[in-house]
Amino acid sequence: MFDESYVKESAESAHIYINEEKLGEYTERLNERMKRIEKVLDIEPKTNKTTINPSDRSTVLREDVKETGLTHEEAMKNAPDEYEGAFRVPKII
Amino acid sequence: MSETIKSVKEYISKEGAKQAFKRAENVIKTKPECENAIITYSNPDFSKVTNESGKLYGIPIVISDNISTKDIETTCASNILKGYIPPYKGDAEQKLEAEGAVILGKGNINEFLIPNAPSFIGDVKNPYDDKYTAGPAGGCAVSVLAGSVPVSVASDAYGAVRLSASYTGITGFRPTYGAISRYGLIYNSGSTDQVSILANKVSDCATVANVLGGHDKRDTMSLLDPLDFEKGVSKARKKIYDSDLLEGIKIGIPENFIEGADFEIVKNFEKAIKIFESLGAVCETCWFEAAEFSNEIHEIITAGEASAMLAKYDGTRFGQRIDSDNWHEMVAKTRTLFGKSVQDEIIFGTNLLRSKQIQKYYMKALKLRTDLVEEINSLFKTYDFLISPTTIKIPAVSKDLENWFLTDKSITSINLAGLPAISVPFKKYNGIPTGIQIAGNLKKDSDVLKTAYIFEKKSKGEN
Amino acid sequence: MIYENPDKVKIGLEIHVQLNKANTKMFCGCTTDYTESGPNECVCPGCLALPGVPPVLNQSSIDFAIRIGLALNAKINKETDFYLKNYFYPDLGSGYQTTQFDKPIVYDGYVLIDGEDGLEHKVRIRRAHMEDDPAKLVHFGTIDKSTGSAADFNRSGMPLVEIVTEPDMRSPKEVRRFLDKLRSILEYLDVVDSTREGSIKADVNVSVQNKTRVEVKNISSHRAAEKAAQFEIMRQKDAYRKGKEVVQETRHFDEVRNVTVSLRAKETEDDYRYFPAFDLVSYKITDKKIQKIKDRLPELPDAKRERFVKQYDLSEALAKSLTTEKEFADFFENAARKTDPKMAASWADIIRGELNYRDLSVKAIKTEELIRIVELVSENKINDVGGVLIVRTLLDEGGTADQIVKAKNLGIAEDDETKKAAVEAVSENPEAVSDYLNGTEKAINFIVGKVMQKTKGKADAKTAREMVIEAIDEKYNGN
């Protein structure tokens, strides 16, 4: 069972703001979810080989050839805020 | 083939593409069961719809809202993406347009397709009983069912396409992973999601799959050799199929796919088996051991992947932003625009990937996935197809969607392995349609479609 | 004489090399050449991390990484894969960096440098892995007191190779030498243009007396890396001398004050939630592919140096100086094929000094000019002073060697002219003459210097000396 501080850490890591008074609900839901998957704790895989994707071939590479991207206007079209052609953001630290 | 597309084409040839579009729009805007079906309508420029010899000339099509469409708002049914206008075309849009199709609008889905996450504009109700949902790709399914469009292009993450097809009594086809480009598909789970098709008829699925298929160098998972969905059946089987029979075809029925199903559902499914047998197929029950934990590994893997794929919604370059004087705080607040279920999904996935947990759950799930894939390989050495009810559960109660979760091994095991599968409508349960799933081995898409076509034909009138 | 390393200094480096010689970025077809472009002008939906774009790995980033691995005498992983490193920062559009984890493409190599003791010293390479560069942030004000920042995604998705060494460097000087050597190798490999801003960055890990290891992050020049190491060694030694502990932390190098400063300590350890990149299955590297790249590997600085020593009979030091930059080595060798190689080598080395002084690249001078200078000197048409003048004029004002000889009248002084100057110098400097006559042999050099002055450096030094002695003899001994 995870406690609220664990859930808070996870939410901070995921950059999702949770109101203190809602933390209990989030914790409850996460623990329910963990219960749903706890079955895997008791199973031993037959193999050590992981499958990260249904494709079992070697990654297909791209030829190193330039392609047309977006115009500057297109790139900035959805920008919530802009400063001299770049995406403006508030202070980071 | 392509029965519905053919009939739509007939009136397009008389009325023209623009009229056909208006007719489609009229249907979807007036029929009550189409409420919430479309999130954004397109405003096509008919002077550019000129390819009269295109396979889909003038055909109105709904594209699900988690597929990028240039200059048409694309929201993934989430508040966080409200107002986002993609500056580029996804591969699906490009290929459909090249064949003359016209995008009617963006079909409503669950928020980011997550099974228990309602759309920000509201759930699409099931036309057969509005207490229930029409499914995770409900808007796409209902627009086909209502006769507005002959096909809809969506994606089958979490089984969205097959479930929605099953719930609404239409056909939902998921091709082999990589058979259709994911360029423009806004997926959470890159290793299980796949562009898929909803249509009235199996043949329409095949026609549209052929339009969408083929190698795309913009998707690293794209198959190098295109599949022919209409004519690519195994040589050895061609003759049998051509006689509209399934003589000698071996079909496996994983017992554990049906475990926990209601009596009615099992009874319906048994009738379906009878039809396969009457067509000459050999049906046999089997045990699919690895599927015993496919729901759990699917849940772990998709949530882990989603936690990373949904990180780009930070209010910096596109989409909504909730202001704050600190960037990290701005991001954390902005991300509360995700619905509750999406937030839960992200926190769940984030927690699974934490260094304390990752070996215990995520890495283990990836190993169990290997077991699953290997067992499937051996099953397909014995059987040509695996069949089951598409789902053993009735749809979620619409207003209670947030408490629903995916428990169909028939969905999760197929998605983890990237196999082609189709849900064909067959009978009803409690007045709500149900579907039969036919799944085949990798790249056997054409065989799956052909078998579904033969079953569809034979079972006509039994819906 | 073995270097004893009395303070047990151990320095390891993590060097980020931007593979800007690739045509396109790591996962999309955007150009890597954005230096002349405005913000967000070289971007696409992929590197901007708009929704819906799968990554497709650039072939060159793999090839370049293998090239680097082979040049660093390292092993190449037969199967390499990618991981996602998750964290939030405005320069990281997707919210994760695609990097490598336990199967880096390159591992277990080494680079030889000149050690503190003058002996060859081996710096082991632990690994080198591929990853993508984040966007560029410009902060309004300083990072800690900024009111905000602006993000430019032109750099986002640039292919990087991060090279990690073992802590095998024992002094700041060895750090400098290692970095110089590495840069030289990378330039030879044609994978990076190191003149581009931020193309090679280093994190420096320093410990003394086998104690706490401190990391200094994001250093952008070799000189700064050396200085940062110097400061850290001093700081740590000082702390231990005073009986204090050194905190294990990440520090930042202040290039203005030449000091390292502590970055604000984080409350919790970052958990990057590394997990396999599900959109990029592992990449299998065949022996055939490795062999193919090996076959096309250019001659590297060490090999070229050895060959120069043998083939042109040059000293180790001179050969080394000529081979630091590939373009320069070619500049010399093109001349050496057409004229006296030893003379070409020493003139090339002079040119190198003049280029460095002016911060110019070898592109500023043509091989033909080097050949011509060697010819002029060996035919005795100009002397060494004239040669140097030609080089300087050529670099400062342009023109050809022949034009400069003519314009500046650099031709060697006729004997008459030298003779006249010698006679004058002898009569004008009686003190020096008497010193010389009293046995101070060196005094003659002073008078020869005067002759050179009078002839504006055109006199042949040997001739001038002979004539000065002659003039003294004539004047004082009457012969």
Reported ipTM: the value is 0.97
CB atoms inside a 10 Å sphere around CB B248: 12
CB atoms inside a 10 Å sphere around CB C431: 9
Q: Is A75 in contact with C39 (CB distance < 8 Å)? A: no
- Which pLDDT does position C436 carry in this prediction? 86
- CB contacts under 8 A, C 390-449 vs A, are none
Residue C141, Cβ density class (10 Å: 0-12 exposed, 13-18 middle, ≥19 buried): exposed
Say yes or no for a CB contact (<8 Å) between A17 and B361: no
Q: Which residues of chain C have pLDDT under 70?
A: 1, 142-144, 264-269, 411-414, 477-479
Residue C52 forms contact with B (CB below 8 Å)? yes
**Token pair for residue C81?**
């894969």
Nearest to C48 by CA among B364, B317, A81: B317
The dihedrals phi and psi of C308, each to the nearest 5 degrees, come to -60, -40
Partners of chain A (3+ Cβ pairs below 8 A): B, C
Tell me the torsion sign for CA atoms C381, C385, C391, C396: negative
Say yes or no for a CB contact (<8 Å) between C52 and B305: no
Q: Which residues of A touch B320 (CB under 8 A)?
A: 80
CATH of region C415-477, choose from 1.10.580.10, 3.40.50.150, 1.10.10.410, 1.20.1270.360: 1.10.10.410
The dihedrals phi and psi of C112, each to the nearest 5 degrees, come to -95, 130
CA distance to partner chain A, nearest, from residue C276 (Å): 7
Where are the alpha helices (H) located in B176-217, listed in sequence order?
A: 202-212
Does the pLDDT value for residue A30 go beyond 70?
yes
CA distance to partner chain A, nearest, from residue C53 (Å): 13
Nearest to B317 among A12, A49, A87 (CB): A87
- Which pLDDT does position C34 carry in this prediction? 96
**Token pair for residue B23?**
């007719």
Q: In angstroms, rounded to a whole number, what is the distance separating the alpha carbons of residues B219 and C52?
A: 10
Say yes or no for a CB contact (<8 Å) between C275 and B218: no
Which element (helix H / strand E) includes C395? helix C384-397
Say yes or no for a CB contact (<8 Å) between C149 and B327: yes
Q: In angstroms, rounded to a whole number, what is the distance separating the alpha carbons of residues C15 and C106?
A: 14
Say yes or no for a CB contact (<8 Å) between B348 and A30: yes
Say yes or no for a CB contact (<8 Å) between C96 and B182: no
| Interface mutation vs chain C, best among A53, A87, A89, A93, most C CBs within 10 Å | A87
Say yes or no for a CB contact (<8 Å) between A67 and C44: yes
Q: Is B139 in contact with B405 (CB distance < 8 Å)? A: no
- Which pLDDT does position C456 carry in this prediction? 78
C106-114 sheet: strands from edge to edge: C75-76, C106-114, C120-132, C159-165, C10-18, C200-207, C214-219, C250-254, C259-262
Contact partners, residue C231, CB within 8 Å, separation at least 6: C253, C258, C259, C260
Q: In angstroms, rounded to a whole number, what is the distance separating the alpha carbons of residues C77 and C88?
A: 30
Say yes or no for a CB contact (<8 Å) between C88 and B316: no
Say yes or no for a CB contact (<8 Å) between B351 and A6: yes
Q: In angstroms, rounded to a whole number, what is the distance separating the alpha carbons of residues B314 and B332?
A: 8
**Look-up: residue for tokens 């949770």?**
A18
CA distance to partner chain B, nearest, from residue A53 (Å): 5
Side-chain-side CA neighbours of C192 within 13 Å: the count stands at 27
Q: Which residues of C touch B189 (CB under 8 A)?
A: 278
Say yes or no for a CB contact (<8 Å) between B358 and C273: yes
**What is the secondary structure of C175-233 as a DSSP string?**
HHHHHHHHHHHHHHHTS--TTSTTSEEEEEEEESTT---EEEEEE-SHHHHHHHHHHHH
pTM of the model: 0.91
Strands C283-284 and B432-440 turn out to be unpaired
Where are the alpha helices (H) located in B229-262, listed in sequence order?
A: 235-242, 255-258
Say yes or no for a CB contact (<8 Å) between B218 and C55: no
Which chain A residue has its CA at the smallest distance from C89's CA? A92
Q: In angstroms, rounded to a whole number, what is the distance separating the alpha carbons of residues C16 and B457?
A: 62
Q: In angstroms, rounded to a whole number, what is the distance separating the alpha carbons of residues B453 and B439?
A: 13
CB atoms inside a 10 Å sphere around CB B66: 33
Which chain C residue has its CA at the smallest distance from B357's CA? C273
Contact partners, residue C437, CB within 8 Å, separation at least 6: C472, C476
**Token pair for residue C77?**
């992983």
- Which pLDDT does position C424 carry in this prediction? 87
pLDDT tens per residue across all 463 residues of chain B: 578 899 898 898 888 999 999 999 999 999 999 999 999 999 999 999 988 999 999 999 999 999 999 999 999 999 999 999 999 999 999 999 999 999 999 999 999 999 999 999 999 999 999 999 999 999 999 999 999 999 999 999 999 999 999 999 999 999 999 999 999 999 999 999 999 999 999 999 999 999 999 999 999 999 999 999 999 999 989 999 999 999 999 999 999 999 999 899 999 999 999 999 999 999 999 999 999 999 999 999 999 999 999 999 999 999 999 999 999 999 999 999 999 999 999 999 999 999 999 999 999 999 999 999 999 999 999 999 999 999 999 999 999 999 999 999 999 999 999 999 999 999 999 999 999 999 999 999 999 999 999 999 999 866 6
Partners of chain C (3+ Cβ pairs below 8 A): A, B
Q: If you ran DSSP here, which 8-state letter would residue B359 be given?
A: I
Q: In angstroms, rounded to a whole number, what is the distance separating the alpha carbons of residues C162 and B20?
A: 57
**Token pair for residue B172?**
């939902």
Q: What own/partner pairs with CB < 8 Å and gap ≥ 24 does C253-256 have?
A: C253/C204, C253/C216, C253/C217, C253/C218, C253/C219, C253/C224, C253/C227, C253/C228, C255/C221, C255/C224, C255/C227
Query: Under DSSP, is residue B132 helix (H, G, I), strand (E, B) or coil?
Result: strand
Residues of B near C (Cβ–Cβ under 8 Å) read 67-68, 74, 76, 81, 84, 86-88, 90, 182-187, 189-191, 217-221, 301, 304-305, 307-308, 311-312, 314, 316-318, 327-328, 331, 350, 353-355, 358, 362, 366
**Look-up: residue for tokens 């001299």?**
A84
Q: Where are the domains of chain C?
A: 10-290, 301-407, 415-477
Average pLDDT along chain B? 96
Cα→Cα distances B331→B58, B319, C148, C196, Å: 43, 12, 14, 33
| Interface mutation vs chain B, best among A51, A68, A92, most B CBs within 10 Å | A51
Say yes or no for a CB contact (<8 Å) between C50 and B183: no
| Interface mutation vs chain A, best among B89, B188, B370, B373, most A CBs within 10 Å | B370
Say yes or no for a CB contact (<8 Å) between A40 and B293: yes
Q: In angstroms, rounded to a whole number, what is the distance separating the alpha carbons of residues C26 and C7?
A: 42
B vs C, Cβ pairs < 8 A, gives 105
A vs C, Cβ pairs < 8 A, gives 126
| Paired residues of C149 in beta bridges | A89, C139
Characterize C74-95 residue by residue with b for buried, 16 or more Cβ atoms within 10 angstroms of its Cβ, and e for exposed.
Answer: bbbbeebbbbbbbebbbbbbbb
Cα→Cα distances C467→C70, C418, C444, Å: 60, 7, 11
Q: At what angle do helices B409-417 and B364-382 cross, to 10 degrees?
A: 100
- Which pLDDT does position C412 carry in this prediction? 67
Nearest to B434 by CA among B446, B425, B443: B425
